[in-house]
Amino acid sequence: MPPDGWPEKAARFTYIVVTRFFSIAVLLAAWEILARSGTFTPFQLPALSNVLLRIWQDAVTGDLAINTALTLYRALVSFAICAVGGVAIGMAMSRNRLAHWFFDPIISVGFPMPKIAFLPVIILWLGVYDVSKISIIVIDAIFPVIAATVIAIQGIERELLWSARNMGAREREMLWQIVLPAALPQIMTGLQVALPLTLIVAVVAEMLMGGYGLGGAMMTASRFANSTGVFAGIVEIAVIGYCLVKAMALLRRRLLIWHQEANEPTTA
């Protein structure tokens, strides 16, 4: 085998990009063709090219950067709270009977509760600024993390816990050094569910409460029947979301390099 020269590398890279984005490209092409075919009015389905143009204009004026930064900030701060809080509550529930007693029914009730209905209360308590938005996001996205943590900890092989106890690990150390890594695969799954949820709820909260942010911009566009603006928002959120989801998957791969899933499945 000759050493990899740049042409091979470039070819390989192109190949990956082409295959990876093939389906998206097809979707986008279908969109443009459909919109231009005249089947729909621009209000129903604006052409992709116009939407991109609009995004470009927003980028030039700086609106895009501000809105994106605000939405991301809200989503990521909430995500951090969900990750830390969710894992902590989940761990407490698995290791402490009192915590389990307290949280178990509350989670069962709180998880499927349509929390939007409490919006007026939240606005009155916390206002419409970041605190209230972040609170709404957190109460919506923390549950998957808690649930995943609990079920992950239940599934840990008891010999692993014994092993650590045997080598002198104290309860606190066990949590960090054994329970957490052993449960990590499923906790990561919970986080992978929670991250896009935080983005979704961030946008929805912005839509409901107005103000800056991608959701606010989309809501405004939608009120003024500005479809191009609405679809621009959809595209922007899709791109940001895609990056977040990908980043999370990469992080997972890094953290779980030891795990079975790091290997490509054989004998498929």
Partner 1 sequence: MKAPLDRSRRLGRVHATMSVPAQIVVDQVSHLYRPPRGREVLALDQVSLDVANREFVALLGPSGCGKSTLLYLIGGFLPVETGAILVDGKPVAAPGPDRGIVFQHFALFPWKTVRGNILYGLERQGMPKDEREQRALDFIELVGLNGFEDSYPSQLSGGMKQRTAIARTLAFDPKILLMDEPFGALDAQTRGLMQAELLRIWQRTPKTVIFVTHDVQEAVYLADRVAVMSARPGRIKTIVDTKFDKNDPAIFKAKAFVEKVDEIWNLVKDEAIKAQGKRT
Partner 2 sequence: NSAEPVKIRMSWVAPVSNWASIVLEKKDLAKHMGKSYTIESIRYQGTPQMIAAIANNELEVSNLAYSSLAIAIGNAGLEDIRVIADEFQDGVPGHYSSQYYVRKDSGINKVEDLKGKVVGTNGGGSAIDIAIRATLKKHGLEEKRDYTMLEGPLPAMPAMLLEKKADLIPAVLPFALNPKLKEEGKVLFEQRETLGVTQMIVWTARKSFIDKNRAAMVDFMEDMLIITRWYQDPKNHAEVAQIASKITKAPPERFGWLFTKADTYRDPNLIPNVEALQRNVDVTQDLGFVKNKIDIKKYVDLSLAQEAAKRLK
Partner 3 sequence: MKQFIRYLPLLLLALGWELAARLELVSTTALPPLSEVVVAWIDMIKTGELVTNGLASLYRAGAGLGLSIVIGGVLGIAMAWSKPVNVLVAPLVEMFYPLPKSALIPVTVIWLGFGDGSKILLIFLGCMLPVTIGAFNGARSSEQVLVWSARSMGAHKLRMLWDVVVPSAMPELLNGIRTALALSFILLVSSELIVAQMGFGYLIGYLGANGNYDAMYAVVLTVAFLGFAADRIYLLITKRTLAWRE
Q: Name the residues that contact partner 2, by CB under 8 A.
A: 41-44, 119-120, 123-124, 127-128, 208-211, 219-220, 222-227
94 or 132: CB nearest partner 1:
94
Q: Please report whether residue 125 would count as binding partner 3 according to CB under 8 A.
A: yes
**Residue 176 DSSP label:** I
- 164/170 Cα distance (integer angstroms): 9
- Residues 31, 227 contacting (CB under 8 angstroms): no
15 or 43: CB nearest partner 2:
43
What does the binding site for partner 1 look like in residue numbers (CB under 8 A)? 157-160, 162-169, 173, 177-178, 181-182, 184, 256-260, 262-263, 266-267
Angle between helix 63-95 and 97-110 (nearest 10): 130
- Sign of the CA dihedral running 249, 239, 77, 124: negative
State in angstroms the smallest separation of the CB of 137 from partner 2.
17
239 or 262: CB nearest partner 1:
262
123 or 164: CB nearest partner 2:
123
Q: Please report whether residue 224 would count as binding partner 3 according to CB under 8 A.
A: no
Phi, then psi, of 63 in degrees rounded to 5 = -60, -40
Q: Which of 120, 172, 254, 257 binds partner 3 (CB under 8 A)?
A: 120
Whose structure tokens read 């969900």? 82
DSSP string for residues in 212-241: SSHHHHHHHHHHTT-HHHHHHHHHHHHHHH
Q: Among partner 2, partner 1, partner 3, none, what binds residue 164 when CB lies within 5 to 8 Å by partner kind?
A: partner 1
Among positions 226-265, residues that touch partner 3 (CB under 8 A) are 227, 230-231, 233-234, 237-238, 240-242, 244-246, 252, 259-261, 263, 265
- 109/10 Cα distance (integer angstroms): 53
Among positions 28-87, residues that touch partner 3 (CB under 8 A) are 40, 44-45
Amino acid identity at 3: P
